[in-house]
Amino acid sequence: MPCFLPIPADHPFPIQNLPYGVFSAREKGPRVGVAIGDYVLDLSVLSEAGLLPSYGVFAEPSLNAFIASGRDFWNEVRATLQYLLDEETTTLSGNRRLRTRALIPVQELTMHLPVAVGDYTDFYSSKQHAINVGTMFRDKNNPLLPNWLHLPVAYHGRASSLVVSGAPIRRPRGQTKRPEAATPGFGPSLELDFELEIGYFVGQGNTLGEPISVTDAQQHLFGLVLVNDWSARDLQRWEYVPLGPFLAKNFSTSISPWVVPMAALQPFRVAGPKQDPPPLPYLSDGQDCAYDIALEIKLQTAAMANAYTISRTNFKEMYWSMNQQLAHHTVTGCNLRPGDLLASGTLSGAEKNSYGSLLELAWGGKEPLELPNGERRSFLEDGDTVILTGYAQGDGYRIGLGEVRGTIVSAPS
Ligand code: CA
C-alpha cells in the first residue's frame, strides 16, 4: 500500500495507520487531522474541497462528532484517505495548491487533547501488576485478592484533568501518613510515579439500561492511545481504604495525541493469556481479542542528555481484554457515551525489566533504579521526563501509537 509521500518502514505513521488527532497551525484554531509520515493531513481542508463526506465534523475542536458518526462513516473516511494518499492517485498529489494547504509539516503543529472525554474509567487488568502490588503491600504468598481472577477490577477516574502529551505535570500536595507517625501530615507527594497504560475510546455508546455484550464489544471501540496515569503512592496508601484511589490519581492523566483506529490494528489481533478459572458466561468471549503492541518506557532526568529505556513490555499480556472490560462496565446497564475513555491499568510483563511503574521497577524503594549517569530513582523527582511509546510491527511497516511525555514540575508553594 505505497503512499505518494516517502515514509520509512520504521515510521509510526504510514498509510496503513492514519491516526486521528486535533491540531492547530497556520493561525487557524483546533481542527481534525490524520498523521501521515512527518505531516498532518488537514481533514477540514479536504472536506471543504469536497473530497470527504462533509458533516462539519472535521472543523470541530474535538473528535467527538466524528466518533459519534459511527463505524460506517469512519470506514468510508478511512478508505477515502487511503485512496487519496495512494501513489497512483493524483487528486491530491497532483494538485500543488491543495496539497500545500492540506499537508502541514509536524514542526508547525500544536496538538490538543483529541477528545472531550465525558467519563474516564481505569481498569487494573495486568495480572503481573496486580501480583506485584499485592506482593509488596499485602501477602506475597497470596498476592491476588479473591475477586481478581473473576472480574476486571476498575475505578471511576477523573476526566477533567486529562491532558495531552507535553503538558507539564505539577507535583501534587496532599495528606499522607508515614508508617511510624502517629498522625497524618500535609505536603508535596514524595512518592510520585508513572503508570504505563493503553487507553481506548468508546465509539458508539449504549442506552442506559442496555448492556453491551462481550461478543458485541469490539463494535463499540473507536481507537487506542497511550496513557500515563500519574500516581501519588503516598497519598494513595493513606486515602484508599475502603473506596479506592481519589486524590492520588486525580491531578493529571496524560494521553498521546494521535488516536489509532481499531481498523489499523486488526492484523495484530492475537490470543490473550489463558484465563483460569474460566470467566462467567457474560465475560466469555471465545475470540482472539488481545493486541500485539510493543511498549516502552523511557526516563530522562534533568541531568541526562538523552532519554534512557527503563522497561519494555507488550499489550498482548493484558489478562482481561478490552471486550471483557466493556461488557463488565455495562453489565449493570451503565451507559457509555461516544468518546468515553477506558484505560487498561498499569501494564507489567513477567520480568523485572518489563514492569509498568517505578513502584515496581524500584520495588517500593527497596531496589532503586540505577540510571546510566549514576543517578538513582525510587520515585520521580522534579525535572524528570517520562516518555511512553508503542507500536505494532507489521510486514514492512509499523502501526505506531506515537508517544506520551510529561515532565514533573515542583509542587505549588
Ligand atoms: Ca492506573
| 120-409: CATH superfamily | Fumarylacetoacetase-like, C-terminal domain (3.90.850.10)
C-alpha to C-alpha distance for 132 and 146, rounded to whole angstroms: 15
In the structure, ligand 1 is a single-atom ion and the residues with CB under 5 Å from it are: 122, 195, 229
Q: What is the pLDDT of residue 55?
A: 66
Active site residue 129: yes
- The contacts of residue 243 (CB under 8 Å, 6+ apart) are none
**How far does residue 194's CA lie from ligand 1's centre (Å)?**
9
Q: And the C-alpha cell for 230?
A: 500519574
Query: Which has the closest alpha carbon to 408: 387, 389, 380?
Result: 380
Give 45-105 as a DSSP string. HHHHTTSS---SGGGSSSSHHHHHT-HHHHHHHHHHHHHHHBTT--TTTT-HHHHHHHEEE
The reply to whether the predicted model has a pTM over 0.85 is yes
**How far does residue 98's CA lie from ligand 1's centre (Å)?**
43
**How far does residue 25's CA lie from ligand 1's centre (Å)?**
33
Task: Tell me the three state secondary structure of residue 235.
Answer: helix
Measure the CA angle with vertex 63, ends 77 and 46; round to 5°: 40
Q: From the candidates 129, 220, 328, 329, which is the catalytic residue?
A: 129
Q: How far is C-alpha 268 from the geometric centre of its chain's CA atoms?
A: 17
Q: What's the mean pLDDT when you consider all of the chain?
A: 97
Contact 39, 3 (CB under 8 A): no
Q: What is the pLDDT of residue 285?
A: 87
Q: Is 2.30.30.230 the CATH number for 20-112?
A: yes
In single-letter form, the type of residue at position 25 comes to A
pLDDT tens digits for range 72-126: 999 999 999 999 999 999 999 999 999 999 999 999 999 999 999 999 999 999 9
Cis peptide, bond prior to residue 277, ω within 30 of zero: yes
Q: What is the pLDDT of residue 287?
A: 87
Mean pLDDT of 242-258: 96
**How far does residue 139's CA lie from ligand 1's centre (Å)?**
21
Q: Give the start-to-end residue ranges of the domains of the chain.
A: 20-112, 120-409
Percent of the chain with pLDDT over 90: 97
Measure the CA angle with vertex 29, ends 67 and 35; round to 5°: 55
Bigger pLDDT: 21 vs 55: 21
**Confidence band of 26 (pLDDT split at 50, 70, 90):** very high
**How far does residue 249's CA lie from ligand 1's centre (Å)?**
8
First-to-final CA distance of the chain: 54
C-alpha to C-alpha distance for 148 and 130, rounded to whole angstroms: 8
Contact 394, 264 (CB under 8 A): no
Q: Please say if the pLDDT value at position 1 is more than 80.
A: no
**Confidence band of 53 (pLDDT split at 50, 70, 90):** confident
In single-letter form, the type of residue at position 130 comes to A
C-alpha to C-alpha distance for 241 and 138, rounded to whole angstroms: 13
C-alpha to C-alpha distance for 123 and 244, rounded to whole angstroms: 12
In single-letter form, the type of residue at position 306 comes to N
Show the beta-strand stretches assigned E in 268-397.
269-270, 290-291, 294-300, 308-314, 341-343, 369-370, 376-377, 385-393
**How far does residue 198's CA lie from ligand 1's centre (Å)?**
10
pLDDT tens digits for range 278-317: 999 999 988 889 999 999 999 999 999 999 999 999 999 9
In single-letter form, the type of residue at position 86 comes to D
pLDDT tens digits for range 178-218: 989 999 999 999 999 999 999 999 999 999 999 999 999 99
